[in-house]
């Protein structure tokens, strides 16, 4: 079944249920130009130009690994912006969104599923995404198990535990939940027991070590873990692979000065990947450059999944 068919099936399944989600920004933000992201404030009093810029990468794996991976990029960003840039390790998607909403986070990479919530509730303005040298980008959601688990196809998950990552994750929760319910008739809490690991690497390690019989994960994370010898390829087996989704979106807080936002964009697109610590880590999953993105266009499919599954963008 294609992603388009999955969305249609999910929408039909939920049609008789609660009203579907509609994407809208929190009332504290404006979108006069209709690009679905918060406008930069016109009032200079609402703009900020901090001496130290705080950067956080989406919490998909061990933060210690990524502090080192982003080191060369941060040095470059400091040169371009003329400011100190500090890597801030985040342990949850919710904490990352709240940090930007509260003004404590200025530059971020939000994962695929939490991007819309960050845009709606935290004033996140995404503009970049990692891509391969040929411009291709994205990852697939896979449902994995371990050899000998007794699970050979998706239907075999019935009666078993299935590890998700977090409810804001696209591949770690939203997409597989929709898939299982609409295509396979498997309902969470009735036909299988959902458990939450918190991160993709936790789910992957859990399956590899036979702590979870199955898990829904982003395969780009799994590829990097295999390349780093965190797990062996033969410790896991895939029973489902989706179509390609957009990957982590990078951007800034909406209320940074326009000049600073321009410099940060320049920092992303002028970064030389060759021989860098960033390339050493992300080339394992095929990324070799930053490319421009549009939240309105590139995240359309994710907003459709959210709509079909009744996700709410209500901000607390």
pLDDT computed for residue 306 by the predictor: 84
Q: What is the mean pLDDT of the chain?
A: 90
Report, as an integer, the average pLDDT of 266-278.
97
Residue ranges of the chain that CATH labels 3.40.190.10: 6-136+247-308, 139-245
Cross-strand partners of 241: 142
**CATH code, residues 6-136+247-308:** 3.40.190.10
**pLDDT score recorded for residue 61:** 64
Residues 6-27 pLDDT 10s: 544 444 343 333 444 578 999 9
Alpha-carbon span 215 to 207, nearest angstrom: 7
Homologous superfamily (CATH) of 139-245 is Periplasmic binding protein-like II (3.40.190.10)
Read off the pLDDT of residues 109-133 as tens digits, 9 standing for 90 and up.
999 999 999 999 999 999 999 999 9
> Hey, is 235 helix, strand or coil?
helix
Instruction: Report the alpha-carbon distance of residue 110 to residue 118 in Å, rounded.
Output: 7
SS3 of 68, please? helix
Q: List, for residues 62-97, the tens digit of each pLDDT value.
A: 777 789 999 999 999 999 999 999 999 988 889 999
Among 91-95, 216-220, 254-258, top mean pLDDT goes to: 254-258
| Lowest-confidence pick of 4-13, 155-164, 188-197, 287-296 | 4-13
Backbone CA torsion sign across 234, 283, 119, 295: negative
Give mean pLDDT, residues 161-172. Answer: 93
Cα–Cα distance for residue pair 198/223, rounded to 1 Å: 19
pTM of the entire predicted model: 0.81
- At 308, is the pLDDT very low, low, confident or very high (cuts 50, 70, 90)? confident
């Amino acid at each position: 079944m294609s992603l388009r068919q999955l969305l249609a099936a999910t929408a039909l399944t939920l049609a008789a249920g609660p009203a579907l989600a509609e994407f809208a920004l929190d009332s504290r933000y404006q979108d006069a130009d209709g690009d679905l992201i918060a406008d930069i404030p016109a009032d200079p009093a609402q703009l900020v130009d901090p001496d130290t810029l705080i950067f956080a990468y989406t919490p998909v794996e061990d933060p210690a690994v990524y502090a080192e991976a982003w080191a060369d990029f941060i040095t470059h960003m400091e040169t371009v912006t003329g400011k100190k840039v500090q890597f801030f390790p985040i342990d949850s998607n919710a904490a990352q969104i709240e940090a930007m909403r509260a003004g404590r986070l200025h530059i971020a990479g939000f994962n695929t599923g939490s991007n819309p919530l960050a845009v709606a509730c935290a004033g996140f303005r995404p503009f970049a995404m990692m891509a391969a040298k040929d411009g291709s980008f994205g990852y697939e959601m896979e449902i994995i198990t371990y050899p000998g688990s007794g699970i050979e196809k998706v239907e075999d998950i019935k009666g078993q535990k299935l590890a998700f990552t977090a409810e804001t994750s696209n591949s770690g929760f939203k997409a597989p939940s929709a898939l299982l319910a609409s295509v396979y008739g498997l309902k969470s809490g009735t036909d299988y027991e959902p458990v939450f690991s918190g991160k993709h690497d936790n789910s992957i390690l859990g399956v590899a070590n036979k702590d979870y019989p199955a898990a829904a994960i982003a395969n780009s994370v799994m590829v990097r873990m295999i390349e780093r010898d965190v797990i062996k390829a033969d410790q896991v087996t895939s029973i489902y692979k989706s179509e390609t989704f957009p990957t982590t979106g990078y951007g800034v807080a909406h209320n940074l000065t326009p000049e600073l936002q321009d410099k940060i964009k320049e920092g992303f697109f002028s970064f030389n990947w060759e021989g860098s610590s960033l390339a050493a880590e992300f080339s394992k999953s095929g990324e070799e450059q930053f490319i421009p993105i549009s939240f309105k266009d590139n995240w359309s499919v994710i907003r459709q999944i959210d709509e079909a599954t009744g996700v709410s963008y209500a901000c607390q």
